[in-house]
Structure 1
């Protein structure tokens, strides 16, 4: 076969293959975590949290972490009707709070500390009493004792929308180390979010309170 015809055939097949691949439901580009418009980012997206070299390998659950960590101690949610024991945020929650508690600059990465703080609307502060509790173990024992929670070992939930959906138990889809954390409901990378921009990067469809009913049975 003529080499040029062979190359043309390969190109045509490649284009057909690419056309058949479904688009991702979301990417960081254009999301609330796209900081390319900020001068301190240098037009880069991942640099706000990650770096391929000289990263912080001591931070739990943080691949190639490069952002400054918060040293804050948080005022925790409490309620006389709550059966779970709430502890200080851990894992992914601590990483989220390193930007969202307003104590560390958003542009504090790569060993350089800036002064651009996160906007007031997204600044949760260090008082978490008014937010959904995080940092607690959510298991069958808690669901049984509480009575108003689904058993995370058997309750199924679907995260994401469109071509990017995953279905599994609450334990597999939403919990981290068996605990409820920030990233139980939110997807920092915007891959499995529902509803597009302006919806808080939530993993589960918020319409009809589906995101609440994934865990709560009333």
Structure 2
């Protein structure tokens, strides 16, 4: 396979990866992005484990604060078996995504696989960030939410969850949909002109139209324009930088979900954070720094 990617596309990807797409915004994250996922935006309790809790209470009306960082994605019991993801706890809708089509691909891209759908279960904006299959405590399990987060079912169940046996936690359940004027959108606070203390999340509201994002569901390419991954582990081909024969957090990879090795969201991003040359995690949960286009040139020969 040979896929021609324009220089403008690579430059645009590098710009987004470095976070410069957010330049000029006056609402930086309150998290340190060091040490643990608890100090990143993927801590949906919004209470950093570094001790800071600035504005954390402002979120409590808009999503259930389960008081556990991991539970928004994972559960030790009663996991969602409709997706091949580790002990997955989130609702994953059946969705047909509009795929990247701005360049000529020698093979058609396939629909996103599990290692993209897990990310898109929040970032496509269709589902509330607290819509999980198994909420903490007794009585919080509903397997019907695995694939069907309909408003009547999901909202009713989510409204029954109580923190420490007290009142219902949230009165609405927000998602990353792209309409800043929607009552159920995270962007109703997290976008310009809204709540002053809230970080701008617009760039993270991806939606179901993936035509302006790096292609997912495209095959591992071959030819002189591409570097060849040196490692294979289970269903992963990866760039084994340290030669330990295991895919580490800082190594890009391709996933085989049944259609051959393909690019997925998790090819370039690790949701738990990857330390850079300092103790601070790389921006936007990248596996490899965008400095000098290093992440691009891991795969692309330019």
TM-score, scaled to structure 2: 0.53
Of structures 1 and 2, the larger Rg is shown by: 1
Equivalent residue, structure 2, for 1:205: 289
Equivalent residue, structure 2, for 1:150: 227
Distance 1:168 1:206 in 2: 24
Structure 1 vs Structure 2 CA RMSD: 2.8
* Residue 179 of structure 1, aligned match among 255, 262, 275: 262
How far off is 1:184 after superposition? 0.6
Unaligned segments of structure 1, at least 5 residues: 1-24, 159-164
Q: Please say if residues 28 and 189 of structure 1, whose CA atoms lie closer than 8 Å, have aligned partners that are also in contact.
A: yes
How far off is 1:59 after superposition? 1.4
Equivalent residue, structure 2, for 1:14: none
Matches within 5 A, 1:121-160: 121=202, 122-138=204-220, 142-144=221-223, 147-153=224-230, 156=239, 158=241
How far off is 1:166 after superposition? 8.0
Q: Please say if residues 41 and 48 of structure 1, whose CA atoms lie closer than 8 Å, have aligned partners that are also in contact.
A: no
Q: Please say if residues 239 and 253 of structure 2, whose CA atoms lie closer than 8 Å, have aligned partners that are also in contact.
A: no
Distance 1:132 1:72 in 2: 19
Question: What stretches of structure 1 move > 2 A for 4+ residues in a row?
Answer: 79-85, 110-115, 151-158, 165-170, 192-198
Q: Secondary structure at the match of 1:129?
A: coil
How far off is 1:151 after superposition? 2.3
Matches within 5 A, 1:112-123: 113-114=154-155, 115-118=173-176, 119-120=186-187, 121=202, 122-123=204-205
How far off is 1:169 after superposition? 9.6
TM-score, scaled to structure 1: 0.72
Q: How many corresponding residue pairs?
A: 180
Query: CA 1:108/1:69 → structure 2, altered by over 3 Å: closer, same or farther?
Result: same
How far off is 1:78 after superposition? 1.6
Unaligned segments of structure 2, at least 5 residues: 1-33, 47-58, 135-141, 146-153, 156-172, 177-185, 188-201, 232-237
